[in-house]
């Protein structure tokens, strides 16, 4: 997995969700987004990344990533329920969504350092 791709994909989700707020076409599934197994990072966490499950960083990344997807799924669900103000509030600056996104990025960088260190040993 390219860690930088995982970082960019998770940062881009906010842009995607804000655009979806403005033009809802039911093309995004709340249940698929809420699952942390579908994206490239989730696939890495639960497959080859599980080699690092003994590290605190991997454990924190798995939990934070799971929470990130749960909130993203909740945003989509709210949009589908036409509760756009509530969805918008979840995406607002200082929101839990933004905090989880930032934490995911930080933890991805930390895992990248661990993986790179491991592969150079």
Query: What is the pTM (predicted TM-score) of this model?
Result: 0.92
For 12-38, what is each residue's pLDDT tens digit?
A: 999 999 999 998 788 999 999 999 999
Do residues 100 and 91 make contact, with C-beta atoms less than 8 angstroms apart?
no
- Choose the CATH number for 3-116 among 1.10.3470, 3.40.50, 1.10.10, 1.20.120: 1.20.120
Where along the chain do its domains lie? 3-116
Percent of the chain, pLDDT > 90? Answer: 92
Residue with tokens 């599980």: 50
Give residue 117's pLDDT: 92
Q: Helices 56-80 and 96-120 sit at what angle, rounded to 10 degrees?
A: 150
> How many Cβ atoms from other residues are within 10 Å of residue 15's Cβ?
9
Q: How far apart are CA 102 and CA 108, in angstroms?
A: 10
């Amino acid at each position: 997995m390219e860690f930088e791709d995982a970082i960019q994909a998770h940062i881009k989700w906010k842009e995607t969700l804000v655009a979806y707020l403005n033009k809802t076409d039911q093309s995004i599934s709340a249940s698929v987004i809420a699952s942390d197994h579908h994206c490239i990072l989730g696939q890495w966490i639960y497959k080859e990344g599980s080699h690092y499950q003994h590290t605190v960083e991997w454990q924190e990344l798995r939990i934070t990533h799971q929470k990130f997807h749960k909130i993203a799924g909740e945003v989509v669900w709210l949009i589908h329920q036409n509760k756009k103000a509530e969805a918008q509030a979840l995406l607002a600056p200082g929101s839990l969504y933004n905090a989880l996104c930032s934490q995911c990025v930080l933890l991805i960088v930390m895992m990248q350092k661990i993986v790179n260190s491991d592969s150079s040993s």
